[in-house]
Structure 1
Amino acid sequence: MLIVTTIHFQLHRDCLIMSAPHIVQLALRIASNTTKVSDYLVANNLPQPSFDLNTPLHGAVPKDEPEIQALRQSVLADTAELRDLMLGPRDYLLSFVHNSLLPQQAVTRFGLARNLPVGSETSFAEMAKSSGLSESNVRKLVRCAVAQRIFEEPRPGVVAHSAASRLLAEDPGVHDFVATCSDELWQAAAQTCNAMAKYPGSEEPTETGFSLANNTDKPMYEFLSDYPERSSRFANMMRSFTEGRPFDLKYVTDFYPWEEHSRGTVVDVGGSQGFVCVALARKFSSMSFVVQDLEPVITEAKENVPPDVASRVSFMTYDFFTPQPVSGADVYFFRWIFHNWSDKYSIKILRNLIPALKPGAKIVVSDAVLPGPGEMPKGMEVRMRSFDLVMTSIQNAKERELSDWAELFQNADERFEFVGATCPPGSNLSLLVAVWKGS
């Protein structure tokens, strides 16, 4: 009888939720899912979410619990939607503050977090002395940062670390991610519309918001190479961005039928240190691999190839804007290459493969696929489309929807047959496949 009563109550509750106004549905779902997350944390003796100094710096919800992570993502999406609805169109538009990155830029550029030992307290005057800023500017910057949960002000005029500022002080990857976004990328974004107006329809990496912001006629990566500190910071930002499950190599090794190419050869074009090929070589013992990249990268990679796969993973200096030198390979693999380039240059990269391709050769691409309209929650979609704009602002490059990928291969050569894309669950990158149908 108790079981029947419980089921009846749950059905009644679900019916009430479904018949309630949308904002009430959101609120009820937020409450329910938040309670489930909290109950999980309590049951596993884990701390509740907080910005206190000693809270888990990478979040209270474990990354290796998919069900709990799914609840977390649901709460984030629903709370964002509920906030926007409660604001209404006018207040929603007015909520975008153009200088919201200014405190983060100041904290990283002037060392405000790194110069404060964790567990200690300081004053605005002391922070001014160590940063070279005026005390007045420190006060206004830090108090705005406190409002963003970066730092705490336990007593008027006294500054201490929060969990967020502690990360900026102790984690170089997080620090350089915030510094690059609030400095290099923010300034490039501010000039992107100006670049679009000055260079209508440009696909050139030298005619971008980044170019105008830095008064340069060099592509971004070439420009940054002249400034080792900025270049290193950008590299650390990318390393921090790609760490973790969404970019795990298992999504490459486990979600494409590599066994179809047993005893074949895979060419990893722009393969950096050869991480993908090493992982594949350890899983498929009868395949051979060639890693291609520019000379400085290959020189370093050759010195670090693991001994257990050294006989099957070779390295070659190659610029993918020149004809492909390895003929007859089974697979030509590109991981996160094409999103760095406009269609003009991506087509050139593909066409440079053609003289080397044998009939049936596969082009396998690990890259992002933008969703179609309404295919995912707005919060997730805006992050992906914002990254598309980042690529425009720094390279005149782009993220692509599935139809864009199909068109890219078609425009490169009609003998490329675009097969489609698979997005492994949990991955930020899809696996796209095209087959060469030429002779």
Structure 2
Amino acid sequence: MATPPALSILASLSGAGDAYAKNQPGSRESLIELSRQLIAKLELPSELAVDRNIFGLLREAGADGVFPDVLAEKVGMQASLLKRLMRHLVAMHVLDLANGKLRVNPLSNGLAMQDYQRSIMFCYDVSRPSLNSFPSFFKETKYHEPALSKIDGPFNKAFSSSLPFFDWLNANPPNMQHFASFMACYRDGKPNWFDSGFYPVQERLIAGFDPSIGEALVVDVGGGRGHDMVMFAARYQDHPGDIILQDQDVVIGEIENKDAQPFTAIAHDFYKPQPLMGARAYSLHSILHDWDDDHAARILENLKPALKSGYSRVLLNEIVVSEEEPALAATAMDMMILGHLNVCERTEAHWRTIIEGVGLRVINIYRYPGSAESLIEAELAL
């Protein structure tokens, strides 16, 4: 049985580590290169960049690969420039090169997917200008955090706009569509809150489901195009009750083959009272982190009238920042939402303050090894 590539690299890393400990020449450089190779084997496509459908063309070429000169002609680039750019991607292990031909690998194949293409457009067209405006913005504010007005932050400075982030996305298509793809890619390949070993769905939701209280098992509030609920339904095929997806009209309108989906899609504004009463669970995935404390509290307040005491769960799938050992994925997202929304990722104490402040209580916080996101389970306080 062949050794998995990542394990082979790890074995080489061990040897290089011994050489480094003995101060052998070249050992430091070997460690760095092997580390890059390991990252390339384990990294997700959402963490890289792409342009001009190069990866799509390489995917079409398949295992045979393509000569750089041929690829340059197809994409309309100077051959010498393309070779330099592709050489860098080969060095990063995003592409493979053998016998003079460029060949795809799992990373480049992932980057050829439409959602990843759109995600990179969002990062380049929207996120990059917002983050680039940090130095000038914070110099003007004398290095204070932006106000929570949502109309005066790095994003607004970058685009000379008085619109809040989400209003601007809607007003400037196809940026909302690209953002939806970004969120889908952000979640792709990462642990789901309903995975085995994360949140005990069978014990906490399915067991005890009572259709006389409400017909819905899960209401996914602000659930985008249904990425989470498709996988939830596939994992729990014999689940009782209905699965409901809620989001803005424009997002719901992008869902393909609605009748064939395992959920019912309903347009809903979460700043208005929740219309579906007595669901077993109301799931909000990466919703509240987009809003300041006051707006997050309003979203939770709009859920409260629909909750059945002692029965309904509020499930917040969110980053809970460790104050002692913050994860890179958590701090990177913190920078993203600082640039776009003037808000922050929250610590456990911060989350508890908001949740308890609206009359809910935290039942438990479920964490999963290696995941930046946790699952906060809450219910109506007694």
CA distances 1:96-131 after superposition (whole Å, capped 9, x unpaired): xxxxxxxxx99734455556656222349x849944
8 Å CA contact retained: 1:123, 1:159: no
Question: Which of 251, 268, 290 is the matching residue for 2:220?
Answer: 268
Q: Displacement of 1:163 after TM fit? A: 3.9
1:272/1:333 CA distance change after superposition, 3 Å: same
Question: Which of 186, 192, 195 is the matching residue for 1:247?
Answer: 192
1:150/1:418 CA distance change after superposition, 3 Å: closer
8 Å CA contact retained: 1:196, 1:208: no
Question: Which of 340, 362, 370 is the matching residue for 1:418?
Answer: 362
1:397 partner amino acid: V
Q: Distance in 2 between matches of 1:297 and 1:164?
A: 29
Q: Given the alignment of the two structures, is residue 122 of structure 1 paired with residue 68 of structure 2, yes or no?
A: yes
Pairs within 5 Å for 1:37-186: 44-46=1-3, 49=5, 108-111=50-53, 113-114=55-56, 119-123=65-69, 127=72, 130-131=75-76, 141=85, 144-150=88-94, 160-161=102-103, 163=105, 166-167=108-109, 170-186=112-128
CA distances 1:191-215 after superposition (whole Å, capped 9, x unpaired): 2354455564422444333333333
Partner of 2:346: 400
1:218/1:280 CA distance change after superposition, 3 Å: farther
Partner of 1:388: 334
Aligned positions, number: 337
Pairs within 5 Å for 1:368-383: 368-374=319-325, 381-383=327-329
1:148/1:162 CA distance change after superposition, 3 Å: same
Partner of 2:133: 191
1:262 partner amino acid: D
Alignment TM-score, normalising by the size of structure 1 = 0.60
Q: Distance in 1 between matches of 2:243 and 2:54?
A: 46
Q: Which runs of 5+ in 1 are unaligned?
A: 1-43, 50-59, 62-67, 88-104
Question: Which of 294, 299, 311 is the matching residue for 1:344?
Answer: 294
When the two chains are superposed, the root-mean-square deviation of aligned CA atoms in Å is 4.5
1:327/1:185 CA distance change after superposition, 3 Å: same
2:168 partner amino acid: F
Larger radius of gyration: 1
Pairs within 5 Å for 1:302-321: 304-306=258-260, 314-321=264-271
**Deviates most, 360-369 or 397-406:** 360-369
8 Å CA contact retained: 1:211, 1:218: yes
Partner of 1:17: none
1:232/1:315 CA distance change after superposition, 3 Å: closer
State the SS of the aligned residue for 2:377. strand
Alignment TM-score, normalising by the size of structure 2 = 0.68
Q: Distance in 1 between matches of 2:380 and 2:113?
A: 45
State the SS of the aligned residue for 1:422. strand
8 Å CA contact retained: 1:324, 1:353: yes
Q: Distance in 2 between matches of 1:366 and 1:174?
A: 22
Q: Distance in 2 between matches of 1:198 and 1:128?
A: 47
2:155 partner amino acid: F
Q: Distance in 1 between matches of 2:265 and 2:119?
A: 30
Q: Displacement of 1:429 after TM fit? A: 3.2
Higher helix proportion (structure 1 or 2):
1
Q: Displacement of 1:346 after TM fit? A: 0.7
